[in-house]
């Protein structure tokens, strides 16, 4: 038994078993706590009435990683659910940064799940996947942003390579374990990322992609432009102009060339 599991076992032992059994599920891999009812705002709604979601917390012992599962399905019995896997982003969720589309994507996912017939949808929020799970988590993400800006590198692709980081460190095995616990075998995955689709297919899931694309503005020129051109994400970007990226004091010829400007 891991030390993390032992520590929590001691804390749980102080709670009456008949109460704990209603909210805690312990496995060899994780603790699941819930259900927790949460009324959530959805920014796309004209009338800002909260929508009731149900939250479950998953805490994995070996990695120490933490996840939220959000759904409206009280039974947790899904057929072919809409699934959105959302990585944490302090810039967007805490500070409302316009430099990325993370907040928009999360709100859109909440809207899609809340409108799904038979409540066949869920969001898995990966609390520790800052900066595509860059080493150091929040500190590493802050370091990348500071380095990238002073080096005149884009913060999606160029800054990672320039400073010796992988483009993406995320591993979806724990997400797959969460989905497996729900007996999900197929999904409609809200994503533009072909690598994410491949990751879930390799875990044995039947995946149909649903697009999730923020309406383009020039503030998206770095995040969405680089994802489309350098990373091959499935994006339309009908009004995209490479020169828009100059609002971030970046050279479009440098950012969008074959090397991503890293060697210049």
Tens digit of pLDDT for each residue in 210-232?
A: 999 999 999 999 999 999 999 99
Distances (CA, A) of 111 to 18, 47, 75, 176, 259: 36, 13, 20, 23, 38
Check whether 112 has a pLDDT greater than 70. yes
The Cα 50–Cα 221 span in angstroms is 32
Cα gap 126→121, rounded to integer Å = 17
Number of alpha carbons in the 13 Å side-chain half-sphere of residue 55: 13
Please give the pLDDT value at position 2: 65
Tokens representing 223? 């995040």
CA gap 15, 220 in Å, rounded:
48
- How confident is the model at residue 262, as a pLDDT? 54
**For residues 184-204, average pLDDT:** 97
Q: Is the pLDDT of residue 45 over 70?
A: no
Would you please indicate which residues are annotated as catalytic (active-site) residues? Answer: 168, 170
**Cα–Cα distance, 108 to 223 (Å, whole number):** 17
Q: Is residue 261 over pLDDT 70?
A: no
pLDDT value of residue 130: 86
> Closest Cα to residue 70, out of 37, 21, 93?
37
pLDDT of 264 = 45
Q: Which residue has the higher pLDDT, 43 or 193?
A: 193
**Terminal Cα distance for the chain, rounded:** 50
Average pLDDT over residues 137-159: 95
CB 154 within 8 A of CB 250: yes
Report whether 179 contacts 199 (CB < 8 A). no
The whole-angstrom separation of Cα 136 and Cα 150 is 20
Put the strands of the sheet holding 206-210 in their side by side order. 24-26, 30-40, 51-60, 66-71, 121-126, 82-87, 186-190, 206-210
pTM: 0.91
- Provide, rounded to the nearest whole percent, the portion of the chain with pLDDT above 70: 95
Nearest to 179 by CA among 80, 102, 109, 52: 80
Does residue 54 surpass a pLDDT of 90? Answer: yes
Quickly count helices (H) and strands (E) in the chain: 10, 8
């Amino acid at each position: 038994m891991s030390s993390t599991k032992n520590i929590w076992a001691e804390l749980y032992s102080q709670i009456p078993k008949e109460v704990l059994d209603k909210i805690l599920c312990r496995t060899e891999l994780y603790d699941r706590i819930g259900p927790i009812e949460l009324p959530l705002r959805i920014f796309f709604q004209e009338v800002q009435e909260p929508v009731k979601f149900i939250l479950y917390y998953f805490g994995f012992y070996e990695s120490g990683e933490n996840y939220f599962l959000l759904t409206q399905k009280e039974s947790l019995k899904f057929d072919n659910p809409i699934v959105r896997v959302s990585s944490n982003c302090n810039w967007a969720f805490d500070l409302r940064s316009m430099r990325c589309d993370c907040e928009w994507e999360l709100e859109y996912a909440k809207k899609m799940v809340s409108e799904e017939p038979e409540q066949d949808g869920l969001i898995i929020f990966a609390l520790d996947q800052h900066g595509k799970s860059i080493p150091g988590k929040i500190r590493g993400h802050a370091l990348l942003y500071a380095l990238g800006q002073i080096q005149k590198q884009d913060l999606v692709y160029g800054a990672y390579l320039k400073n010796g980081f992988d483009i993406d460190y995320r591993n979806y095995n724990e997400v797959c374990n969460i989905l497996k616990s729900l007996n999900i075998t197929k999904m409609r995955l809200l994503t533009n990322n072909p690598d994410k689709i491949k990751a879930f297919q390799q875990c044995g899931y039947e995946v149909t992609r649903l697009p999730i694309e923020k309406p383009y503005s020039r503030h998206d020129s770095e995040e969405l432009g680089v994802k489309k051109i350098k990373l091959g994400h499935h994006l339309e970007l009908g009004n995209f102009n490479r020169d828009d990226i100059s609002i971030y004091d970046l050279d479009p010829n440098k950012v969008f060339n074959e090397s991503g400007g890293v060697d210049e």
